[in-house]
């Protein structure tokens, strides 16, 4: 201030508290100079606050103890607030201590000491805070030893993949039942999500569990399986980074074609064969994949042409269709088509595929057949003819049902019957071409060998009304018969 005498009327700043210290002083160099002084002034308020550092993200509070000392004024007061860390909202206020409390707080807490003195403005001393709370649990997921066994070859398409895992509560607080989310991701971005619940998980306890998926139905590469416990932190816990298992898999693709067969009344027929007007057409489909049995009738496709070169698709399912699914024990699926047909020539088109879409063949299997509703029998040939050791009988039956009775009479050239072959001996009969299981060895009724030479034979066929069957004309062989008699030669 003495410099003002020398400098004259120049800017000058002096900051001080009455009866107290000087906070700042500054004088300008000339009348045009600009000066500034910044000082911090202290003041004793009637209220003060002290905050602790945040405590945990999630806490279950149990009790709080604290102590203030050095009270000097009559109006001094002090207490503790419990604040929610994120919002700073007061959860509880405690004037005295200790006090039992019961709060579950997300985002953690802050302790706040509040001191108040409206007269002397002196502050009591905070000696300590002692808070007790229940520590959060922490569930951790891990593989069980050797599960999955990644040393195995690629998993087959359709195979059930089993994963055994365990969940451990690594902390000292129990958890309620654990929600498990397990997801299957295919390379086509299609996911399959499932949930299950495990039992309550005690402090330090470990639970073992297993999940399973059928793999490779939609894709075979880039398969990912993810198992997550306590998804979206449904229960508060310490950490979430140890809640997920992820497995990458490649699937051995099933590219083997299934094998298909077509039977008419239990027999594979040749193109042009005659069948019953009410045939039982059996389509079998066998697949080598034991994990994906053929269990859907819609994997079969049947079309029928009634001679107009226009195929009609047979609806599946329908009243004419019966289906037997394949199983692990029997990998063969069976589809039976039982239509009612009129006279005419037909073509059946059959195609099928396995559960992964492999076709039974690059083209449908085509079977041509003929239907004759009238019951008749062709002339009967024996083969071989001549014969030395044995001969069989070949003939054609038409109509819906096989004969009620059929026999073959063998005679000498003079008409003496030396052998009568019954239907029981001939064996099973079917509509269409027959070749008997029975082989006649050239012996008579007593088992004695007949002499070499020419013999006559005649077939007797009757229906359930004991009516004789009509003759089915077969121009290629009818010239060898006269009045229904045929000839055979024994040549030993």
**pLDDT tens figures, 174-215:** 999 999 999 988 777 777 899 999 999 999 999 999 988 777
Closest CA to 124 of 47, 41, 42: 47
Q: Are residues 383 and 360 in the same domain?
A: no
The alpha carbon of residue 400 and the mean position of all alpha carbons in its chain are separated, in whole angstroms, by: 46
Same domain, 285 and 334: yes
202, 300: one domain: no
| pLDDT given at position 426 | 93
pTM beyond 0.85, yes or no: no
pLDDT score of 47: 87
279 with 307, same domain: the answer is yes
**Would you state the pLDDT for residue 384?**
95
Residues 157 and 243 both lie in one domain: yes
CATH, residue 113: 2.60.120
The CATH number of whichever domain residue 467 belongs to comes to: 2.60.40.4070
Last residue of a domain, one of 215, 231, 252: 252
Q: According to the model, what pLDDT value does residue 387 have?
A: 96
Task: Report the CATH number that the domain containing residue 143 is assigned in CATH.
Answer: 2.60.40.10
Per-residue pLDDT of 99-155, as tens digits, reads 666 666 666 788 888 888 888 788 888 898 888 877 788 999 998 866 665 545 467
158 and 243 share a domain?
A: yes
pLDDT in the model for residue 5: 76
Residue 383: predicted pLDDT: 94
Please state, in angstroms and rounded to a whole number, the distance separating the CA atoms of residues 309 and 46: 107
Determine the pLDDT at residue 393.
95
pLDDT in the model for residue 73: 65
The domain tally of the chain equals 5
Mark residue 451 as left, alpha or beta (left: phi above 0; alpha: psi -120 to 50; beta: remaining): beta
In a shared domain, residues 207 and 290:
no
Asked if 323 contacts 297 with a C-beta cutoff of 8 angstroms, the reply is: yes
pLDDT score at 296: 94
Residue ranges in the chain whose pLDDT is less than 70: 1, 57-59, 73-75, 96-107, 145-154, 216-220
Annotate the chain with three-state secondary structure: CCHHHHHCCCCEEEEECCCCCEEEEEECCCCCCCCCCCCCCCCCCCEEEEECCCECCEEEEEEEEEEEECCCCCCCEEEEEEEECCCCCEEEEECCCCEEEEEEEECCEEEEEEEECCCCCCCCEEEEEEEEEECCCCEEEEECCCCCCCCCCCEECCCEEEEEEEEEECCCCCECCCEEEEEEECCCCCEEEEEEECCCECCCCEEEEEEEEECCCCCCCCEEEEEEECHHHCCCCCCCCCCEEEEEECEECCCCCCEEEEEECCECCCCCEEECCCCCEEEEEECCCCCCCCCCHHHEEEEEECCCCCEEECCCCCCCEEEECCCCCCCEEEEEECCCCCCEEEEEEEEEECCCCCECCCCCEEEEEEECCCCEECCCEEECCCECCCEEEEEEEECCCCCCEEEEEEECCCCCEEEEECHHHHCCCCCEEEECCCCECCECCCCCECCCEEEEEEEEEECCCCCECEECCCHHHHCCCECCEEEEEECC
The predicted structure's pLDDT at residue 368: 95
Owning domain of residue 465: 376-490
């Amino acid at each position: 201030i003495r410099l003002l005498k020398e400098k004259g009327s120049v800017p000058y700043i002096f900051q001080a508290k009455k009866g107290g210290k000087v906070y700042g002083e500054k004088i300008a160099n000339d009348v045009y100079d600009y000066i500034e002084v910044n000082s911090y002034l202290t003041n004793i308020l009637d209220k003060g606050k002290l905050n602790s550092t945040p405590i945990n993200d999630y806490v279950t509070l149990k009790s709080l103890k604290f102590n203030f000392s050095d009270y000097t004024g009559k109006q001094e007061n002090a207490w503790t607030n419990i604040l929610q860390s994120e919002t700073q909202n007061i959860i509880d206020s405690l004037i005295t201590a200790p006090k039992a409390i019961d709060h579950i707080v997300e985002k953690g807490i802050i302790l706040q000491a509040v001191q108040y003195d409206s007269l002397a403005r002196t502050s009591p001393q905070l000696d300590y805070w002692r808070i007790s709370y229940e520590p959060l649990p922490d569930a951790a997921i891990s593989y069980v030893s050797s599960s999955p066994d990644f040393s195995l070859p690629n998993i087959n398409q359709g195979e059930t993949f089993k994963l055994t895992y365990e969940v451990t509560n690594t902390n000292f607080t129990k958890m309620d039942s654990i929600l498990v989310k397990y997801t299957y991701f295919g390379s086509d971005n299609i996911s399959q999500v499932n949930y299950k619940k495990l039992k309550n998980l005690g402090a330090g306890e470990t639970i073992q569990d297993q999940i399973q998926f059928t793999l490779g139905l939609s894709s075979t590469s880039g398969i990912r399986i993810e198992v997550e416990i306590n998804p979206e932190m449904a229960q508060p816990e310490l950490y979430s980074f140890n809640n997920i298992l992820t497995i990458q898999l490649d699937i051995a693709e099933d590219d083997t074609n299934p094998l298909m067969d077509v039977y008419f009344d239990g027999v594979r027929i040749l193109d042009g064969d005659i069948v019953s007007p009410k045939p039982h057409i059996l389509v079998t489909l066998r697949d080598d994949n034991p994990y994906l049995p053929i269990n859907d009738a819609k994997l079969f496709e049947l079309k029928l042409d009634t001679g107009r070169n226009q195929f009609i698709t047979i609806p599946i399912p329908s009243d004419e269709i019966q289906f037997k699914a394949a199983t692990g024990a029997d990998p063969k699926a069976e589809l039976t088509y039982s239509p009612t047909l009129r006279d005419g020539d037909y073509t059946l088109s059959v195609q099928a595929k396995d559960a992964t879409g492999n076709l039974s063949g690059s083209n449908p299997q085509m079977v041509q057949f003929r239907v004759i509703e009238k019951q008749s029998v062709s002339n009967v040939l024996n083969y071989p003819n001549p014969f030395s050791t044995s001969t069989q009988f070949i003939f054609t039956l038409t109509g819906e049902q096989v004969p009620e009775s059929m026999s073959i009479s063998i005679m000498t050239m003079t008409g003496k019957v030396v052998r009568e072959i019954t239907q029981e001996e001939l064996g099973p009969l079917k509509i269409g071409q027959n070749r008997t299981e029975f082989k006649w060895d050239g012996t008579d009724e007593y088992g004695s060998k007949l002499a070499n030479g020419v013999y006559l034979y005649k077939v007797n066929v009757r229906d359930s009304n004991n009516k004789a069957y009509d003759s089915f004309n077969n121009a290629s062989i009818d010239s060898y018969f006269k009045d229904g008699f045929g000839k055979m030669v024994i040549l030993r």
